Amino acid sequence: MPKSAKPNRLPTRRPSAPKPYHHGDLRRVLIDAALQLAEEGGAEQISVREAARRAGVSPGAPFRHFETRDALMTAVAEEAQRRFRAEIHTALAEATAGDPLSRDPLSRFRKLGLAYLRWAMRNPAHFEIISSARYFDHDGATELSRDNAELIAMTERLLAEAFAQGQLRPSDLKTVQIAGRALVYGFARMNLDGHFPRWGVADNDVERTAEAVLDLFIGGIARPLRG
Burial state string for 154-178 with b = 16 or more CB within 10 A and e = fewer than 16: bbeebbebbbeeebbeeeeeeebbe
Q: Note the pLDDT of residue 18.
A: 47
Q: Is residue 31 part of a domain?
A: yes
Domain match, 53 and 97 both = no
pTM, two decimals, is 0.81
Contact between 129 and 42 under an 8 Å Cβ cutoff? The reply is no
Contact between 173 and 160 under an 8 Å Cβ cutoff? The reply is yes
Domain match, 30 and 86 both = no
Burial tier of 87 (Cβ tally within 10 Å: 0-12, 13-18, 19+) = middle
How many whole angstroms separate alpha carbon 109 and alpha carbon 115?
Answer: 10
Contact between 210 and 183 under an 8 Å Cβ cutoff? The reply is no
Give how far the C-alpha of residue 94 lies from the chain's centroid of Cα atoms, to the nearest Å: 18
Q: Is residue 138 part of a domain?
A: yes
Domain match, 98 and 59 both = no
Q: Which domain holds residue 56?
A: 17-67
**Does residue 169 come out as left (phi exceeding 0), alpha (psi in the -120 to 50 range) or beta?**
beta
Q: Note the pLDDT of residue 81.
A: 93
Domain match, 161 and 136 both = yes
Q: Is residue 9 part of a domain?
A: no
Per-residue pLDDT of the chain (227 residues; tens, 9 = 90+): 444 455 666 555 454 444 544 446 888 999 999 999 999 988 998 998 899 888 888 777 877 888 889 999 999 999 999 999 998 989 888 867 666 656 789 999 999 999 999 999 999 999 999 988 788 888 788 889 998 999 999 999 999 999 999 999 999 999 999 999 999 999 999 999 999 999 999 999 999 999 999 999 999 999 987 65
Percent helix, strand and coil across the chain, each to the nearest 5: 70, 0, 30
- What is the domain-level CATH number for residue 127? 1.10.357.10
Domain match, 207 and 98 both = yes
Domain match, 59 and 81 both = no
Q: Is residue 227 part of a domain?
A: no
Q: Note the pLDDT of residue 58.
A: 79
> CA nearest 219: which of 113, 103, 98?
113
Domain match, 188 and 125 both = yes
Domain match, 198 and 155 both = yes
Q: Note the pLDDT of residue 135.
A: 86
Domain match, 167 and 114 both = yes
Total structural domains within the chain: 2
Beta bridge partners of 222: 168
How many whole angstroms separate alpha carbon 53 and alpha carbon 30?
Answer: 9
Q: Is residue 211 part of a domain?
A: yes
Q: Is residue 4 part of a domain?
A: no
Nearest-10 Cα torsion for 198, 202, 208, 209: -10
Q: Note the pLDDT of residue 59.
A: 76
Task: Render pLDDT for 199-210 as a digit per residue (tens, 0 to 9).
Answer: 999 999 999 999
Task: Render pLDDT for 142-181 as a digit per residue (tens, 0 to 9).
Answer: 889 998 999 999 999 999 999 999 999 999 999 999 999 9
Tell me which of 47, 67, 87 is where a domain ends: 67
Q: Is residue 209 part of a domain?
A: yes
- What is the domain-level CATH number for residue 27? 1.10.10
Q: Note the pLDDT of residue 92.
A: 85
Tell me which of 5, 38, 67 is where a domain ends: 67
Domain match, 83 and 61 both = no
